Structure 1
């Protein structure tokens, strides 16, 4: 199954009050494994960058001044997203900004039925625990030492790793390995063994007549057995 893990950076918290999206980062996953395909873009928000927002992601108005408008990149972004489910942390926030930008450039919004919220998943798995991306990285041992400030692509890459852990962790890889080499198939080597070791004939598992007789003699010596009551 193809899924897209994504994150956004913005000028503020509410697109309805005029805040805009200034960065998006997307990571493609197939069967919960990152394929290496990504989409990343910065956008000129056509407005100032509040100091509080800049302190979070480090994106200044000067840096964004020569970046394309969202409308110029919307087609490429939508092509990358396709019809895949979209995974985000506190997904209603990111969906709100994404769909606002799509509405501004008169594109169809992304359906909320495609939303996968890792905060909601984490809340069910770890009730009462801290649910920030940093906290979940710490819980699952995801290395975030290179995360000095928020960045959409970096955060999407971290979230992709957290998402795998939230939905089954490394067991997913074991299941895929089991499918690749189903139980009962013999290794394809000249000796039908493993590596350089030749195949050893299976040991007999049925008791011999002598063993059966010895067992019966032993059972006969047990006084008042439970199975005889």
Structure 2
């Protein structure tokens, strides 16, 4: 399975009011393994970043002025993500901006170029309800170092998210993954071979252990001034009517 962990940086928070994508970072996973076949663009948005956004990513208008425009990288970007499963933290934000960029070029929406989109933020909320589920919080939770993350960055955040996603989904490899090797029946169900049960080992208490147990029960009898619950036999269940 080919998966792409993707992150963008933008000039602001609202694509509908003209904010643009200024950075795209993509990290490739193939069968849950990092391949190193990553993709990264800085993009000239032809406008300034809002003050709040600039404080987050630090990508100035001057720095971006000689970078390619989105139209110049669109084909390479689409070829890279085509047919892959895309993993994005807070996917609606990034997909909304990519859709806006594609619309300016007369291209179909982002999801029509890929297999599907997984929102890792929604996954985290389901796994950790009521807790902080930002990328930084998840890095702390899963023991992933993000000490070098002083500012947000598309490729850096995608690389951190890739590690977080692998940690979040560890142990969830489905049995259906074996179907490619012919492990399923005609309906796609997986058949598991029955193995014989191991011998049950019974370890009996020694005389000394039984004596100590009796001493404890006697002490409990004295404390309750009667018979402690551990000496009472459970009532037999009534037969069904």
TM-score bracket for this pair, using the shorter chain length: 0.7 to 0.9
SS of alignment partner, residue 92 of structure 1: helix
The alignment yields a C-alpha RMSD, in angstroms, of 2.0
Q: Find the aligned partners of 1:14 and 1:76 in 2 and give their Cα distance.
A: 25
Runs of 4+ residues deviating >3 angstroms: 169-172
Structure 2 unaligned spans of 5+: 182-241
CA deviations 1:97-140 (Å, max 9, x no partner) are 11111111122222277110001110111111100000000000
Offset of 1:34 from its aligned partner? 1.1
Offset of 1:63 from its aligned partner? 0.5
Aligned to 2:75: 75
CA deviations 1:184-227 (Å, max 9, x no partner) are xxxxxxxxxxxxxxxxxxxxxxxxxxxxxxxxxxxxxxxxxxxx
- Spell out the pairing of 1:77-226 with structure 2 (5 A cutoff): 77-111=77-111, 114-168=116-170
Q: Find the aligned partners of 1:109 and 1:125 in 2 and give their Cα distance.
A: 29
Structure 1 unaligned spans of 5+: 180-229
Offset of 1:169 from its aligned partner? 5.8
Aligned to 1:21: 21
Give the paired residue count.
175
Q: Find the aligned partners of 1:18 and 1:78 in 2 and give their Cα distance.
A: 22
SS of alignment partner, residue 111 of structure 1: helix
Q: Find the aligned partners of 1:169 and 1:37 in 2 and give their Cα distance.
A: 25
Q: Find the aligned partners of 1:55 and 1:67 in 2 and give their Cα distance.
A: 20
Offset of 1:171 from its aligned partner? 8.0
**TM-score, scaled to structure 2:** 0.69
